[in-house]
Amino acid sequence: MATSPKRIALGVTGGIAAYKAAELLRLLQDQGHEVQVIMTESAQRFIAPLTFAALSGRRVITDMFEDQPECEREDDSIEHISVAQRIDALVIAPATANTLAKLAHGIADDFLTVLALATRAPLIVAPAMNVNMWEHAATRANVATLKARGVRIIQPDTGILACGMTGAGRLADVGVIADAVLAELARQQDLRGEIFLITAGPTREPVDPVRYLGNRSSGKMGFALAEAAHRRGARVLTVSGPAAIEPPSGVETVRVETTDQMAEAVLDRLSEATAIVMAAAVADYQAVEVARSKIKKEQGALTLMLEPTRDILGEITVRHQPNQLLVGFAAETDDLLENARAKLRSKRLDLVVANNVTQEGAGFDVDTNIATLVFADGDYKALPRMSKLELAHCVLDELVKLRLNRT
Ligand SMILES: Cc1cc2nc3c(=O)[nH]c(=O)nc-3n(C[C@H](O)[C@H](O)[C@H](O)COP(=O)(O)O)c2cc1C
């Protein structure tokens, strides 16, 4: 997979497989990429920095407090910050159980772990360790945390390990690791030139001055899409209801509260967009009359008369241009495929991301999702449970293909 030359940071940690990182370095360099190696203190007990320095033609970073030579400085900033800002990907191979734990918990006590926190570049981690360490509940939990955060974990291979035991824990083939890094880099600018209009979060419909009708959407899925599209080179506009989290940086966000406000904001920016992704959980009903004063409990049983809110997607359907890609979400509790296909047809969508919100690990306010992608030609793709950021990338991968077919 050929990409323009990129800057990659290769973190090497203290395991037997550290020597294999030299081969990974060469594979990445063979593709024309510039690789900066960073070694933990333990890694240097297994292989000398000189090996990587000789292969990469660059000083290996081994110490957070060491002064960066004047001739290597590109600006006045501190080295871990300047490396963090200029890299396109950070790959850690091999990654020890110790480093996995530090990454999962945000511990930053050496150059590599500080860099992992300071960079916004994608993180790809290839663990390698003894089978019992790999299967330990602590490691399992740390891996799950990292995956949920969108870190790409390259599963270790199964076989005879350096310790003599047999099982999972052997560093994945370096060719597989290199391919994963290259795939991540290839994604990076594949949406350049696209303008994404993405809705996120819930909407709230007032009942009285203090109460509203709402739903459990956190905004995580919409913002994951915004972050992924931004990382891949798109200009991103989000229209967000009151989400539980902050929008990603680099993304323009219009904040709204009600469905009506969301509809106005979306229609206002519709003509600019080349792709529209409706990930917000829009309220379906609003109060026919909003009480001017707080409704008092003392009045006893309360009947609220509700009416449907505006159908934002329906309004887009009649206005959108044929070259604009249109994606809807369907959060269902029953008949997932049937409902998704009906939505796809009635709203003339290119793609529906359908999920059964009653499944564990899917739906509202969690970091993961289990989705089925349903396409306009009737085809569908059921995806396994994955982080919302990973799912966002899967959706964007499909949009890249749809765009290619359309031009
Ligand atoms: C001979 C030897 C081999 C080791 N191999 C591994 C390994 O493959 N995976 C691992 O997670 N830890 C391994 N360890 C333990 C790590 O070196 C140790 O946890 C260290 O603190 C890791 O530091 P780092 O994560 O900063 O590199 C090994 C230790 C020794 C002495």
How many percent of the chain have pLDDT more than 70?
95
Which token pair is 69?
């030579």
Residue 1: is its pLDDT beyond 60? no
Q: Of residues 162 and 237, which shows the higher confidence score?
A: 237
The mean of the pLDDT values for the chain is 92
107, 113, 114, 116: CA torsion to nearest 10: -110
Q: State the pLDDT at residue 332.
A: 80
Question: For atom 1 of ligand 1, which residue has the closest CA?
Answer: 16
Res. 76: pLDDT tops 70:
no
Ligand 1 pocket test, pick from 39, 42, 112 with the greatest ligand atom count within 8 Å of Cβ, gives 42
Q: What angle do CA 215, 372, 353 make, to 5 degrees?
A: 50
- The answer to whether residue 71 is catalytic is no
The b/e string for 384-393 (b: 16+ C-beta within 10 A; e otherwise) is ebbbbbbbbb
Ligand 1 mean position, distance from CA 43 (Å): 8
- Identify which has the larger pLDDT, 88 or 71: 88
Q: Where residue 164 falls among pLDDT bands split at 50, 70, 90?
A: confident
**Model-level pTM?**
0.73
pLDDT tens string 348-398: 999 999 988 777 766 666 777 889 999 998 899 999 888 888 899 999 999
Average pLDDT value for residue range 58-74: 78
34-53 burial by CB neighbour count: b if 16+ within 10 A, else e? bbbbbbbebbbebbebebbe
Q: Given this model, what pLDDT does residue 365 score?
A: 65
**Is ligand 1 within 6 A of the CB of residue 13?**
yes
Assess whether pLDDT exceeds 80 at residue 45.
yes
**Closest among 267, 281, 144, 272 to 222, alpha carbons compared:** 281
Rounded to the nearest whole angstrom, what is the distance from the C-alpha of residue 387 to the centroid of ligand 1?
Answer: 28
Closest atom, ligand 1, to C-alpha of 112? 26
Residue 324 has pLDDT above 60, yes or no: yes
So what's the pLDDT on residue 75? 61
Q: What pLDDT is recorded for position 65?
A: 85
Residue reference for tokens 């333990």: 42
pLDDT value, residue 188: 77
Query: Is ligand 1 within 6 A of the CB of residue 150?
Result: no
Q: Which of 26-30, 139-143, 160-164, 291-295 bottoms out in mean pLDDT, i.e. has the lowest?
A: 160-164
Task: Calculate how far, in angstroms, residue 14's C-alpha sits from the geometric centre of ligand 1.
Answer: 5
Measured in Å, residue 107 CA sits from the centre of ligand 1 at 17
What is the structure's pLDDT at 293? 95
What domains does the chain contain, in order, with CATH numbers?
7-187 (3.40.50.1950), 195-406 (3.40.50.10300)
Q: Which of 62, 96, 140 to mutate to test the pocket of ligand 1 (most atoms within 8 A of CB)?
A: 96
Please tell me the distance from the alpha carbon of residue 47 to that of residue 44, in angstroms, as a whole number.
Answer: 5
Give the up-direction half-sphere exposure of residue 159: CA atoms within 13 A in the CB hemisphere: 9
Helix runs in 15-96, H state only = 20-30, 43-46, 49-56, 79-86
Q: Is the CB of 21 under 6 A from ligand 1?
A: no
Q: Which of 16, 162, 163, 402 is catalytic?
A: 163
Ligand 1: does its nearest atom lie under 6 Å from the Cβ of 98? yes
92 CB under 6 A from ligand 1?
no
Which of the residue ranges 142-156, 236-250, 253-267, 348-362 would you say has the lowest mean pLDDT?
348-362
- Residue range 169-191: mean pLDDT, rounded: 92
Mean per-residue pLDDT for 232-253?
A: 93
CA–centroid distance, 223 to ligand 1, in Å, is 36
Residue 73 has pLDDT above 70, yes or no: no
